[in-house]
Amino acid sequence: MGLIGPLADDQKHVLGGWSAAGDWKQCVSVRQGIQNLLQDQIEVFYAKGSNLIEDPLILQQLNAFSNDISLDNRSADIMIEEAVQIAQKSDVIIAVVGEAQSMSTEGGCRVDIGLPECQKRLLKALFETQKPVILVLMNGRPLTLPWEHEHAQAILETWFAGTETGNAVAEVLFGFYNPSGKLTSTFPRHVGQIPLYYNHKRTGRPFDPNRFIDRFKVNRIRTHFN
């Protein structure tokens, strides 16, 4: 099995942005969780594959108050090449991707809520191997994933699951626990769909003249009494 991705062996970001006094050193990464569960029953090949994010301006902002995100000194091409080599000798690929914990804290708005481009380049290379790819997401908000949805065999949403993340993810991936939870929010296909509502239309289209007339009458009555 190939375990690939910038969050596959990560402890810091599984706590999320509202971890307060949480100690990331106590966290279990996905890589460690699989090892804890299966020991030597399965051979796991690991590669980071890409940085979590590479945009220098975003990195400067995210690291303004802490150095949570550090760049791998290797080039993107070298990391992807290593990941592809591991993928080619694996029966299945687990790609652990998503956001840094500081990307979805207070004031952490994003214009593009897809995966960072460096992670998309990694996934493209993995999909091109024609091996089955299962995505494990770590994120603090719904992401736009239409392209990933079309190519991945399955997607496991873990959000920021806390200190026991790795153990929990491993039990789900290998069938020790049924991931039967229901999503409490809708994943948009494009950021332009936001905000998404469950119980009414987001815009005034299609136009309903009767509804407009009723609203006009109500406004006239309010104006009269005011």
Domain CATH number, residue 13: 3.40.50.1700
Kindly state whether residue 114 falls inside one of the protein's structural domains. yes
Number of domains in the chain: 1
Q: Is residue 194 part of a domain?
A: no
Residue partners of 78: CB distance under 8 A and separation at least 6 = none
Domain membership of residue 203 (yes or no) is no
In this structure, the number of other CB atoms found within 10 A of the CB of residue 215 comes to: 11
Q: What is the pLDDT of residue 204?
A: 60
Please state, in angstroms and rounded to a whole number, the distance separating the CA atoms of residues 179 and 200.
30
Tell me the pLDDT tens digit for each residue of 127-158: 999 999 999 999 999 999 999 999 999 999 99
Q: Domain range spanning residue 63?
A: 2-185
pLDDT band at 205 (very low <50, low <70, confident <90, very high): low
Phi and psi angles of residue 119, each rounded to the nearest 5 degrees, phi first: -75, -35
pLDDT over 60 (residue 223): no
In a domain, 196, yes or no: no
Per the prediction, the chain carries an average pLDDT of: 87
For residues 203-213, average pLDDT: 62
Largest CA distance in the chain: 79
Q: What is the DSSP string of 195-217?
A: SP-SSS-SSS-S--HHHHHHHHH
